[in-house]
Structure 1
């Protein structure tokens, strides 16, 4: 039934130009292998204008919002990026629901008016497009009212309504946006279950992971700053933030196992910088590394870990780093959450300090070649192509139903 579809539109949380790893960006690229795709940047808001216009990027964003410049540009074969020619009110602080809803609808109308103009210039028709909204819950509320695509999908990859910015209005608006969507896709079972409370067609499609640079059978040069650290090395690779990682757990595991070297690789936020971890002899902070350096660091760790806090913000997260660890064939220990069940039996799951200590001891035992290969195959199977195939399957069912 794909002949009914002229193009895909991905409404994103992150600007394309920032070139950050994001699910929306990856999904847009995957969609573009079959149909034209328009990736839509978020609209700039008044607060961002005040804080960003001193930079060249901010000045360019403001000019585009005011309609000066090329708002829609081709960035690859079959792929365009649109920057909305509208300015949104900054309204998250408003507690008056009626007033908030009035301004939010104005923001949504401005966004979709710009989008309609963009697709007209590209020669597309809204009623022949499929929209995938990357958790833009407030804008997404008006997708059908002001744009009316062939199909409207909502995509959830984080439990955003637990974030302070989204919590007050998001807890009432996101369920409405989910209910209005033709289908909802999530990257974890937890988030799919949440969405299913508001929309029966809610599916966990898993997560794609760019594992091409992680080659377990390639022999990398051991990084100099890692080489001087004794074994066994128990490592974490990623952003070090107290919002998502259990500092107390790390402190207790390190202090009660002085022979284990706890290696933390990645940028730190202030709570980590000021934590007692910096004063524990067997804890080593190696700082930020470039993405292409990470496989070498992982290869020379004995165990990789994800000491995640379990809280409303993290419980539904898909831990992408687990795919990276497993793709490198590394024994892996992680906090036991619903999202981790899909990685069994390739990881050791743990809760609390004692649980982590026992799991790490088990992970330090010799690993069979069969188990190592199975873990690598598991990680390599988590692709964006596999995610999009599931979206296409639901899409085709909807197009074949009487609904369309």
Structure 2
């Protein structure tokens, strides 16, 4: 345990790792937290590492080309992100060994240790470049790297955050991530979970205390969808109204039968999905055959309020299953900040906690009926209450909670 005072902790740089990159296709909780911490202290946001195999497969992508010299030679690995203020940096790790194909055991552990030492040296190099030796290490749901800290990599505080039930995710992640996450929780000074069920499960699996640390929203960004007269995104120009909207990854979590039902039972309405399309392999429904379903592709988080402002109703049609029952969805507070009515499935205890500010329906027929009812019954008073709910769930509030938990953990 550190003998630092809380004020000294707040002055240290924070190094954050996650399974997303700062310039990825969609917003993430880790990136939002990093930007919020960086308002008051130095933050080094560590990109999810590329392996040698990733580099070969993706070498022609602009995101890889932009990082090429850092990946291959370690040059310019620390990039100041001045668009987000003076304190935020992105760090590109060197290429890692592709080892996920190995079975659990001594060889995987040995090579994972080599990767971790390589990554930690790059982080230390970045810290020294900025004139720092002491730091806080925040692993925000990336158990495949630095779940256990190598010798010589000694932060003043080690925080691990779980944001999803990795034991129910795709085989690639759960193969090693499921047990490495428990390693991280057992080694960390403070462990966090974004949902109530996830907190309970991780405490049972690790034998350690895990704090509830829910997701939030960049309220100052998303409140513009409620308060301001934002320009109409070009993809929405001329679409029949009302427009039903969804933002986020279009992936394995979504109930595509509900999507189909919305479109087929509401031919006069438009459904627009904003985000990267990763649904192939998760549904046999030909989404492109639905004439009133439109895809915009991924958008930067700064662009999303304009879409929310011009949607008439928002949907969160997640499947109710083992994967989703421990999710506190990042987008719910973004939705509520817009003041628009929301219809969701009751997939987790956390999403159910937002009732009565949102409508919850489990089956596709009830879901579609709820859309009509919420559109017909929407009132300015209801919109204001949704907006106020989002205002109580901000990243600034979560950062305050983080320091409170640090204070409790280290008995400062």
Q: TM-score, normalised by structure 2?
A: 0.83
Q: Which moved more, 1:334-343 or 1:36-45?
A: 36-45
1:382 alignment partner in structure 2:
393
Report the alpha carbon displacement of residue 336 of structure 1 after superposing the two structures with TM.
0.3
Q: Deviations over 1:292-315 (max 9, x none)?
A: 665455445443211112233333
The one of 330, 343, 360 equivalent to 2:340 is 330
When residues 177 and 268 of structure 1 are mapped into structure 2, their CA distance, relative to the original with a 3 A threshold, is: closer
Report the alpha carbon displacement of residue 137 of structure 1 after superposing the two structures with TM.
0.5
Q: Measure, in 2, the Cα distance between the counterparts of 1:68 and 1:242.
A: 34
Q: Measure, in 2, the Cα distance between the counterparts of 1:146 and 1:138.
A: 19
Q: Measure, in 2, the Cα distance between the counterparts of 1:302 and 1:72.
A: 42
Report the alpha carbon displacement of residue 191 of structure 1 after superposing the two structures with TM.
2.6
Q: Measure, in 1, the Cα distance between the counterparts of 2:50 and 2:234.
A: 43
When residues 270 and 359 of structure 1 are mapped into structure 2, their CA distance, relative to the original with a 3 A threshold, is: closer
Q: Measure, in 1, the Cα distance between the counterparts of 2:69 and 2:142.
A: 23
Consecutive unaligned residues of structure 2, counting only runs of 5 or more, are none
1:248 alignment partner in structure 2:
257
2:176 alignment partner in structure 1:
169
Q: Indicate the RMSD between aligned Cα atoms, in angstroms.
A: 3.1
Determine whether 1:118 maps to 2:118: no
When residues 7 and 346 of structure 1 are mapped into structure 2, their CA distance, relative to the original with a 3 A threshold, is: same
Q: Measure, in 2, the Cα distance between the counterparts of 1:73 and 1:279.
A: 43
- In 2, are the aligned partners of 1:184 and 1:199 still within 8 Å (CA)? no
Q: Measure, in 2, the Cα distance between the counterparts of 1:40 and 1:376.
A: 33
Q: Deviations over 1:131-186 (max 9, x none)?
A: 11121212222226441211100122233341221121122221111221111223
Consecutive unaligned residues of structure 1, counting only runs of 5 or more, are none
Report how many aligned residue pairs link the two structures.
395
Report the alpha carbon displacement of residue 260 of structure 1 after superposing the two structures with TM.
5.8
Q: Measure, in 2, the Cα distance between the counterparts of 1:58 and 1:164.
A: 25
Q: Measure, in 2, the Cα distance between the counterparts of 1:273 and 1:19.
A: 22
Q: TM-score, normalised by structure 1?
A: 0.85
Trace 1:203-282 onto structure 2 (pairs within 5 A).
Answer: 203-211=211-219, 212-213=221-222, 214-220=224-230, 226=236, 233=242, 235-239=244-248, 241=250, 243-255=252-264, 257-258=265-266, 261-266=269-274, 268-269=277-278, 271=280, 275-279=285-289
RCO higher in structure (CA 8 A, sep ≥6):
2
Report the alpha carbon displacement of residue 333 of structure 1 after superposing the two structures with TM.
0.6
